[in-house]
Structure 1
Amino acid sequence: MIKHTEIILASGSQTRRDLMNRLGLQYRCIAPDIDESPHGEIHADELARRLAFEKAQLIAGQYPNAIVIGSDQVAWREHAPQDFIGKPLTVEHAIAQLQANSGQSLYFSTALSVQQQSSSFEHTLVEQYQVKFRTLQLDEIKRYIAQDQPLQCAGSFKCEQLGISLFEQMIGADQTTLMGMPVMQLCRILRQLGIPLP
């Protein structure tokens, strides 16, 4: 069992905070300031893995006794893992993303990195999740965006809210992977570190 002083979520994401809150653990959030642009990666898995690792590494370097959790997610369409889909940020871009998603399969590469510098512990992994969009009409897309405001969400939807209405099928081992952090894998790693979870 590894002794720890605290758990830190290396993220400023409210969604990841909500996922952490499910576990009932005491933790705090510190948002890492890293460059999230691609550095020559040719697959979404590679980019997500690097970003999750760097987020955790930066905070673990500042708090070497803490268990630090970093996570990142990259979206991509079927057969195009090299074409990364980012956050739309504007209504116009969200409309364009959802029009492009209509009738298509969208994949999410979600990376998790758990690090504790003082014990030299580091475990980084990538999980994938797939959603199949139904055929979407423009008026449906506009109504959805107005209600859910998914402008900070890659792929332009919030699956935990009304975004579920856009899908025909969801395929993956753990729905939290789609939400931005694979919590089942996180629980497994935290148990390895001696954190009591049911």
Structure 2
Amino acid sequence: MTILTTSFSEIILASSSQTRKDLMNRLGLDYRCISPDIDESAQGEIHADDLAKRLAFEKAQVIAKQYPNAIIIGSDQVAWREYAPQDFIGKPLSIENAIQQLQANSGKNVFFSTALSVQHCASGFEHTLVEHYHVKFRDLSRTEIKRYVEKDQPLHCAGSFKCESLGITLFEQMIGQDQTTLMGMPMIQLCEILRKFGIQLP
């Protein structure tokens, strides 16, 4: 692996997501969070990969311009159902929307395009990628769905579930190389990039 011959002042996670903070905390690194203020709506993208990649890049770019000597980490995730990558599944934001999303997901494969963008303006480093993960939902009754939503309150989660908690009960299968991709930030890829800056992991 080629180590970048550059120095950095700090690591910044361009996010306010508690789940992404929890993922970063696994690494035991000193970092801080700054929430980027960007428009997260689609701008003509016709595939979930394209939307996730643009949003992750823009999140990191906004903060990187303010802190050019810092390593900036941006990530975004877009969910979509099988054969429909152009129909983006957003955060439900309400109990009724969450119930409706899960009813639509019942018995189906739901895919997640999770993008990661790492930027260091001072050296001109930028690497943006998309990882994939998908889950097969079991057939869910409305009673099960309502009980789940009430207990887990997945109102700010694309797809209306938290796989790290009770959401695991909704699935028949989970398919992918890195479960953190499903959680919102592909940590295996992130670790590989951070090592290029000479950061020792572990």
Q: Bin the TM-score by the shorter chain.
A: over 0.9
Q: 1:168 aligns with which of 168, 172, 182?
A: 172
Q: 2:71 aligns with which of 64, 67, 72?
A: 67
> The residue matched to 1:33 in structure 2 has which SS?
coil
Q: TM-score, normalised by structure 1?
A: 0.99
> The residue matched to 1:103 in structure 2 has which SS?
coil
C-alpha deviation, 1:2, in angstroms? 2.4
Deviations 1:166-189 (A, max 9, x none): 000000000000000000000000
What are the ranges of 5 or more consecutive residues in structure 1 without an aligned counterpart?
A: none
Q: In structure 2, give the amino acid aligned to 1:108.
A: F
2:39 match: 35
Rounded Cα–Cα distance in structure 2 between residues aligned with 1:156 and 1:182: 19
Rounded Cα–Cα distance in structure 1 between residues aligned with 2:15 and 2:42: 19
C-alpha deviation, 1:196, in angstroms? 1.1
What are the ranges of 5 or more consecutive residues in structure 2 without an aligned counterpart?
A: none
The yes-or-no answer on 1:120 pairing with 2:124 is yes
Q: 1:181 aligns with which of 181, 185, 191?
A: 185
1:139 match: 143
Rounded Cα–Cα distance in structure 2 between residues aligned with 1:87 and 1:37: 12
Rounded Cα–Cα distance in structure 2 between residues aligned with 1:2 and 1:161: 39
Q: 2:109 aligns with which of 85, 105, 108?
A: 105
Q: Percent identity?
A: 76
Q: In structure 1, give the amino acid aligned to 2:129.
A: L
Check whether the contact 1:106–1:130 (CA below 8 A) recurs between aligned residues.
yes
Rounded Cα–Cα distance in structure 2 between residues aligned with 1:130 and 1:72: 16
Q: TM-score, normalised by structure 2?
A: 0.97
Q: In structure 2, give the amino acid aligned to 1:189.
A: I
Check whether the contact 1:2–1:194 (CA below 8 A) recurs between aligned residues.
no
Rounded Cα–Cα distance in structure 2 between residues aligned with 1:2 and 1:160: 36
